[in-house]
Amino acid sequence: MYEKQPWSVCDVETKQKQRDMILIKGNSTQCVPKKTITKACKKTCRYDRSGWSACDKLTRQKQRQLTPKSNSLPQCTPTVETRPCYVRAELTAAKPHKCRYMPGTWSECDPRSNTMTMVMTSKTRDPVCQKYKKLSRKCKAACKFRRGEWSECDETSQLMTRVDSLVSGSPKQCDESRQITKKCRRKCKYTFGEWGECDPVTNHRTRVKKLVDGGDQTKCLPEDIVTKPCEKKNGRERCFYGAWGEFGPCTNGVVTKNRQVLQGGVECERKAVITQACTKTPGS
């Protein structure tokens, strides 16, 4: 246990004060007989500030006197505070320009971009500010269209078109229909053969795919071989199936079709059956 001594006077240079603590109870061999604690002063010197002097044209600075108050510490001495002075024109130039504009009226909604614009006119004659300012925002009520069907691909232009019709309840400025054009996509359609046996050397299965009659043989391969590993990356057995069969007769409002599981367990058998609802016609 230590006895706390009073704090010393605050040092103006370091802005710190100290006090000693003397051991009064405890083992002097294990505890320090005397130790000193240092901490920062909360308030060192308080001053009365005089008015600023006139700006010195040579140094472009102004000064004012700082006199210690009556309740300040005796170490506090009078001092002089110096600050650079600015001409009013410099202060005005340093401030950012505030451009004010008079708002106009919003234009009608453009159905293509779904935006509306407004032109604002400057209120100030400052050359820094723009005379006109254009704003744009999205329309509150957008034009909604119901998508149509894509047309057949035009062999000459290699383009296909779609006509969308306007949904009822859309704004009056919307067009009754819109036409969208895009490039044709050549899709190669194939028929797939049966999977072969798993090759013990490569651990892969292969099957042949052939181009459907009428396909573009200039851009699609007439025949190709598809290869898949017999196992997945995590070591599990991969599912391999045969071709789908036909739907069976309608029984209890349900028709099913199956495909043979060539490789795989119970999880693969779940994906080998497709079930659809049906209605049994009289006499069938």
pLDDT by residue (tens digit) across 194-232? 888 988 898 899 999 888 876 666 777 888 898 999 888
* 79, 85, 91, 95: CA torsion to nearest 10: -40
pTM: 0.35
- Please state, rounded to an integer, the average pLDDT across all residues of the chain: 82
Residue 283 confidence (pLDDT) above 70: no
Structure tokens at 145: 């269209």
Report the phi/psi class of residue 144: left, alpha or beta, with left for phi > 0 and alpha for psi in -120 to 50. Answer: beta
- Chain centroid to CA 152: how far? 39
Residue-wise pLDDT tens digits, 107-164 = 887 877 778 899 999 888 777 788 888 999 887 666 788 888 888 888 788 789 999 9
pLDDT, residue 161, reads 92
Which pLDDT value is given to residue 45? 75
Identify the pLDDT of residue 277.
87
Residue 63 predicted with pLDDT over 80: yes
Give the DSSP letter of residue 10.
P
Per-residue pLDDT at 256: 92
pLDDT of residue 112: 74
The H or E element containing residue 233 is none
Q: What is the maximal distance between C-alpha atoms in the chain?
A: 119
How many angstroms separate the first and last alpha carbons of the chain? 105
Q: Can you tell me the distance from the alpha carbon of 45 to that of 42, in angstroms, rounded to the nearest whole number?
A: 10
pLDDT in tens, 254-270: 999 999 998 888 888 88
> How would you write 175-195 as a 3-class SS string?
CCEEEEEEECCCCCCEEECCC
157 φ/ψ sector (left φ>0, alpha ψ -120 to 50, else beta) = alpha
pLDDT tens digit string along 66-108?
A: 898 876 777 778 889 898 886 554 444 545 567 888 999 988 8
